[in-house]
Structure 1
């Protein structure tokens, strides 16, 4: 994919932040948000940096030790195939796709594919039940659902005329996502993407009232998370571990836009039960350079022997509710780095 004017404008803003990562005053005074009438992060950024790029974009380690590594070039190709296949199944620009997947390769390739098609993704956590899904399908005006095979039965109680796509084993009455592998890799975009077109629709957690819909455009998250990249301290070639569940906005912040804007590797460790020792062993084995976790994980980590981690990450951050000062001090004493506490909402980038 050839660089566009939007690519170069975005790159210049990113490179300015990388250059002045250690000089906040200079960064604050000199940074200007990139402006473009047309911008598609998957086409104008990801595909450009992915061309002939064999560095690892996504590295997933399963609890049983299985590893999956996908290069930037391969992820670009996979998302092209996914875009062509989804288009063949009737996905059109502006269509809303409810995506309910775990931390698996298909989650990232469909996110890029939907951007390329100018479809709108409604991310959903696999923890949702039929009642929540009915609400999301109805209020989100969902045209297509793309879910793990294990979750398809939940939709037996979700009425609506929507395309049903199952990832994994074949399910009766559902289109098998496995067909993506046979799709053409030659993807041709439609018209240019207007910067203010909708990109993602998130349902908030609904802590104090019913979940509300939050719309993000092809600018608000892809460009807005330049600030998240800067705050985390991500650099090209980093290996970034963010512990976050798919379906929540923080997953897009720190497992999609921020690391791949920095040309860093997204690292995932899938586990059913938290094991601090195993997590630190995987961090050492995979060379984690930046680490973000919610306060609950940090509190569990300090109950273990932090010296098990031989090479601590260069950058450590927390997001969610405020982190206890004693946790920050314990990590500083054991790892020699200071956890920086961030705040943000579904409606915003990091603040």
Structure 2
């Protein structure tokens, strides 16, 4: 049996899927399996995977008879894992060299941490726009409250650079697909309730930001006030369960509750203004209602309502927020830091290495011509 299972849920992205699979097969650590779960793409995805499987028996393919939904596909893949470790990679993202080696070396040296979280890079096609682990100021083994605080909503985080202990994820309750696009962060938080983690600043994975990505296509609407509250409440329940089971102490539970409850108000307030900047007034007003009703923050709710009103004050506020958002985006894209330039060089080099081999490119051209 292999040591690592890599889960790749996919839907109608055969070109991007090639680079994703290639980034896994390029890992120097050899003891892994790749399982592609096709959400009824109905395109050339089976052929793309078959090309890899013909050359490497570690590549496996499963196609659903119908599209079961993105997060349900993630959950399905996790449920099939029978190896001690696994990672999840979206079909439009890719791993960086040395990820498996770094993760396995650390997790086998210390049997207690439930997962490894490596350096995570966000790339918009031209620039590295974020490297969140750089700002954590933590590395090596970190205890639950520390990794919980680092992963807490409001930070820009996903699981692209994580390797999980299968048993730890099962003990935490697995993935909750009903939480939508926030289910990845929620799972990481539930893991952090009861598990230490290994953190590495070494760049390990790249999340691609593009118009076809789920979060971009959604426009942020999955992160409604109700969705945010559901995520927080699920994590709060995980704290209570871990306390009852004796996995954490009363003091640890109090610390985690404080982080959660202090974060709800700020997260909702900040989210309301993000929604206004995106032009979603109704969603912002819904968030104001939640701020007042759930958090008792009438003052903050009133501020959101003033900004969301369709009068001159509201219009000026929304225009100002959109301007700020555009300026921040430009500044982020043109950040001149040497560190980010170093990341961009790394990403470009790896992307070039992941380009199709001449035989694959020729085969694809001939199929298109024949069609």
Q: Say whether the fold is shared (TM-score over 0.5).
A: no
Structure number with greater Rg is 2
Range class of TM-score, shorter chain: 0.3 to 0.5
Query: Could you tell me the TM-score, scaled by structure 2's length?
Result: 0.31
Bigger proportion of residues as helix: 2
Q: TM-score, normalised by structure 1?
A: 0.33
